[in-house]
């Protein structure tokens, strides 16, 4: 474009606008290398890049291990299932309290007090008491541990919709509920059976027990361990079934405690008022305790009915809880809850 | 909206508009599902090709049942189907390993960091923990929240949660992504990003997407094909372009004598829709343009503008549902109030909100 074309008296032809839009009419004839200008940078540093992945997916046991690890490691470190801080603190306190008899065995050995050892040392009654003693272990510690653990394990999946995360993946409902059951049971086992084993080993270490003593006491020890398994299975079954019918962690926790303490209280009231022990058969704790007393060989609390009644009742309670659990988990949705 | 003969053929029967490629990601034959006496899916014959496909239908149409069926989570009453070549009856685990499902509803633990949530979702597929962690970084970077990945999900916005759900779905780079309402509840910017991310998956990643959505605008931008369910039956299936081509109209802007023109056109057997000065006349086999001009000349109306009107997918969807006897809200309504807007006048037993 020349200056002449910009004179005030120049005719209005639209030429200038055309040239602005499409380039000058002069000078374009010369051959020159055409280069595309770089796109303007907007200042945004994010650049979306698709990255493919061709790795292999492991099988069923790897997936189940992931669920188990997720729940177990959540107690100890971040990045896994977020157990609440109060739960973690209570678990620590419960573990310390559960080790109180082991500590007293060590103390009796350290200060050389046979009186303390006579009260707290390993014996038939003390092995029973470590697992199934009612106060304080099965009032203040183990049921509360179970309530805190099972409360949100399934209900929070319902509440947060995370069940979709499991069921839209190659996880069967049996694996889902099985791994959750086992992981909660393992955490309880660390506290109940773990402390029980430490108690036994404290006796061996502190008092220099030999093979003869160990062989002598070992059947009782095993029976105590079996009682621990029964207790954990019963608490977990009832707790998880309550968790599966709920959307929060409060109701299952409180529900579990209400069932355990309510039935026990009812059994005591009925026995005291009517001199009938029948109602203890609906108390999960009493049933486990009765079976445990027979297994370990201590004197049974209930004498009006044989221990097999308690065993049948225990099986029925667990079967009912597992039925509720399985039916509720099988109805959990992927698309919506 | 008026419906042409070909369009009507498309409704109420499993009429496949275009010859689809045989490269199918989902195929069902006579798929039927009863919940007790309630028929949820009826004789569904679907052929969903590779690429992006929308799964449409009003509430209660059977979309959720269909998704659960193809995920191998519920047993079908009769019929058969395959997803990525795997039988939905016997290979549910294999199917769920190869697809990525992004649920519509909340599916994240609010107390976890995004990175660990996505890693865990990978581990649930069987990924090695270290590999899952590496892929979680990549997936979150891809969905645009790489710099926020160590934040707790409870502090995330709706868009970030949607992105995290998408990252969970794509951590193993699945062949088929099933996205249930991926852009629901998102603001314009986040919605744009979600749409472009899905497009990237389809175009760059060469992955297939099955997207259930009520937002037709989003569907149209992502998907090439639609599957429309109604009362558990296949109402329409095919390429969006082909379906839209069935219903062609001419739009005219009239100045003066609009009512006489409308009357005359209708008298001459034309199908006219009118809103003020704008009329849309269905194209017939004859020369519709000349007929409109002739009619305008006869009544003395001025036609200021005349052009071929291409229906949007939303028009198409509304027309189909109208034809089937249901009122459905538009995208604007859905965006304004998602919960209320999804009420349709279907009976409550079908998930509708009519009282």
pLDDT digits (tens, 9 = 90+) for B60-75: 888 888 998 998 888 8
**B240/chain A closest Cα distance in angstroms:** 26
Task: Give the closest of A55, A166, A172 to B131, CB-based.
Answer: A55
Confidence of residue B350 (pLDDT cuts 50, 70, 90): very low
Per the model's pLDDT, the better-predicted residue between A255 and B247 turns out to be: A255
pLDDT at A335: 61
How far apart CA A320 and CA A100 sit, in angstroms, is: 35
Task: Give the closest of A59, A81, A334 to B71, CB-based.
Answer: A334
Q: CA A330, A73, B148, B120 torsion: positive or negative?
A: negative
Q: CA B70, B73, B74, B78 torsion: positive or negative?
A: positive
CB contact, 8 Å: B197 with chain A? Answer: yes
pLDDT surpasses 90 at B240: no
- Quote the Cα angle for A8-A10-A13, to 5°: 125
pLDDT at B308: 84
Confidence of residue B16 (pLDDT cuts 50, 70, 90): very low
Is the CB of B105 less than 8 angstroms away from the CB of A54?
no
pLDDT digits (tens, 9 = 90+) for B150-182: 999 999 999 999 999 999 999 999 999 999 989
Residues of chain B contacting residue A168, judged by C-beta atoms under 8 Å apart: 71, 96, 101, 103
pLDDT surpasses 50 at A73: yes
Confidence of residue B323 (pLDDT cuts 50, 70, 90): low
With a CB-CB cutoff of 8 Å, which residues 46-105 of chain B face chain A?
A: 64, 67-68, 71, 73, 92-94, 96-97, 101, 103-105
pLDDT at B205: 92
What average pLDDT does the structure give for chain B? 83
Residue B229, SS3 per DSSP: strand
How far apart CA B218 and CA B180 sit, in angstroms, is: 12
pLDDT surpasses 90 at A27: no
In terms of Cβ atoms closer than 10 Å to its own Cβ (0-12, 13-18, 19+), residue B332 is: exposed
pLDDT at A9: 65
Residue B2, SS3 per DSSP: coil
**A285/chain B closest Cα distance in angstroms:** 34
With a CB-CB cutoff of 8 Å, which residues 201-230 of chain B face chain A?
A: 201, 204-205
pLDDT digits (tens, 9 = 90+) for A287-305: 999 999 999 999 999 899 9
From first CA to last CA, the distance across chain A in angstroms is 71
Spatial neighbors of B239 by CB under 8 A, at least 6 apart, are: B17, B18, B20, B224, B225
How far apart CA B67 and CA B44 sit, in angstroms, is: 13
Spatial neighbors of A106 by CB under 8 A, at least 6 apart, are: A202, A206
DSSP state for residue B16 in the 8-state scheme: B
How far apart CA B332 and CA B342 sit, in angstroms, is: 11
Mean per-residue pLDDT, B295-321 = 82
Residues of chain B contacting residue A156, judged by C-beta atoms under 8 Å apart: 109
Which sequence spans correspond to the domains of chain A? 3-42, 60-330
pLDDT at B185: 84
What average pLDDT does the structure give for chain A? 89
Confidence of residue B7 (pLDDT cuts 50, 70, 90): very low
Is the CB of B172 less than 8 angstroms away from the CB of A53?
yes
ipTM score:
0.84
Residue A326 backbone phi and psi in degrees, to 5: -70, -40
Contact by Cβ (8 Å): A16, A1: yes
How far apart CA A255 and CA A273 sit, in angstroms, is: 26
Residue from A169, A171, A330 whose CB has the most chain B CBs within 10 Å, to mutate: A169
DSSP state for residue A137 in the 8-state scheme: I
Mean per-residue pLDDT, B312-318 = 73
Mean per-residue pLDDT, B193-222 = 92
pLDDT digits (tens, 9 = 90+) for A195-239: 999 999 999 999 999 999 999 999 999 999 999 999 999 999 999
CB contact, 8 Å: B192 with chain A? Answer: no
Mean per-residue pLDDT, B335-349 = 38
């Amino acid at each position: 474009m020349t200056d002449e074309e910009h004179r005030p008296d120049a005719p209005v032809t639209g030429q200038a606008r055309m040239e602005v839009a499409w380039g000058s009419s002069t000078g374009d004839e010369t051959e020159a290398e055409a280069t595309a200008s770089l796109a303007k940078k907007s200042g945004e540093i994010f650049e979306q890049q698709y990255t493919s992945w061709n790795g292999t997916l492991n099988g069923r046991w790897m997936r189940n291990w992931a669920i188990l690890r997720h729940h177990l490691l959540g107690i100890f470190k971040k990045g896994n299932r977020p157990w609440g801080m109060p739960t973690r603190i209570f678990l620590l306190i419960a573990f310390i309290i559960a080790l109180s008899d082991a500590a007293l065995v060590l103390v009796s050995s350290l200060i050389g007090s046979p009186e303390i050892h006579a009260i707290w040392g390993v014996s038939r009654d003390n092995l029973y008491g470590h697992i199934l003693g009612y106060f304080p272990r099965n009032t203040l510690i183990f049921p509360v541990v179970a309530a805190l653990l099972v409360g949100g394990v399934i209900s929070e999946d319902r509440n947060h919709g995370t069940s979709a995360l499991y069921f839209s993946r190659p996880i069967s409902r049996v694996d889902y509920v099985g791994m959750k059951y086992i992981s909660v049971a393992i955490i309880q086992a660390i506290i109940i059976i773990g402390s029980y084993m430490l108690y036994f080993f404290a006796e061996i270490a502190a008092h220099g027990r030999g093979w003869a003593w160990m062989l002598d006491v070992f059947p009782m020890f095993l029976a105590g361990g079996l009682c621990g398994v029964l207790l954990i299975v019963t608490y977990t079954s009832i707790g998880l079934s309550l968790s599966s019918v709920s959307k929060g962690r409060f109701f299952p926790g409180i529900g579990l405690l209400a069932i355990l303490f309510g039935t026990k209280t009812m059994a005591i009231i009925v026995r005291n008022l009517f001199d009938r022990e029948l109602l203890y058969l609906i108390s999960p704790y009493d049933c486990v305790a009765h079976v445990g007393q027979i297994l370990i060989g201590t004197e049974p609390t209930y004498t009006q009915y044989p221990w097999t009644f308690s065993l049948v009742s225990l099986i029925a309670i667990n079967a009912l809880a597992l039925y509720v659990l399985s039916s509720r988990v099988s109805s959990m949705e992927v698309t919506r809850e | 909206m008026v419906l042409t003969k070909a369009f009507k053929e498309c409704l109420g029967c499993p009429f496949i508009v275009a010859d689809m490629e045989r490269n199918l990601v989902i195929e069902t034959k006579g798929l039927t599902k009863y919940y007790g006496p309630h028929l949820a899916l009826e004789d569904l014959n679907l052929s969903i090709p590779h690429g992006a496909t929308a799964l449409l239908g009003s509430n209660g149409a059977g979309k959720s049942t269909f998704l659960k069926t193809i995920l191998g989570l519920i047993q079908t009453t009769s019929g058969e189907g395959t997803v990525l070549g795997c039988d939905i009856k016997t290979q549910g685990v294999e199917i769920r390993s190869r697809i990525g499902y992004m649920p519509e509803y909340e599916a994240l633990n609010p107390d976890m960091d995004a990175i660990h949530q996505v890693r865990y979702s990978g581990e649930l597929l069987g990924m090695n923990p270290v590999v899952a962690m590496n892929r979680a970084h990549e997936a979150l970077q891809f969905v645009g929240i790489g710099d926020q990945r160590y934040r707790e999900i409870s502090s995330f916005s709706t868009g970030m949660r949607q992105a995290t759900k998408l990252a969970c779905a794509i951590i193993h780079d699945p062949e088929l992504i099933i996205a249930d309402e991926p852009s629901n509840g998102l603001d314009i910017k986040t919605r744009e990003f979600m749409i472009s991310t899905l497009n990237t998956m389809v175009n760059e990643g060469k992955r297939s997407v099955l997207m259930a959505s009520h937002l037709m605008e989003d569907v149209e931008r992502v998907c090439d094909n639609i599957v429309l369910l109604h009362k558990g039956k296949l109402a329409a299936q095919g390429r969006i372009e082909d379906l839209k081509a069935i219903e062609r109209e001419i739009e005219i802007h009239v100045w003066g004598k609009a009512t006489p023109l409308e009357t005359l056109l209708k008298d001459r057997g034309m199908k006219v829709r009118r809103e003020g000065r704008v009329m849309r006349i269905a194209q017939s086999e004859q020369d519709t343009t000349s007929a409109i001009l002739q009619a305008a000349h006869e009544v003395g109306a001025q036609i200021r503008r005349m052009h071929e009107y291409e229906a949007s997918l939303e028009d198409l969807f509304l027309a189909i549902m109208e034809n089937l006897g249901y009122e459905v809200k538009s995208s604007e309504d859905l965006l304004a109030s998602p919960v209320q807007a999804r009420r349709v006048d279907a009976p409550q037993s079908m998930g509708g909100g009519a009282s």
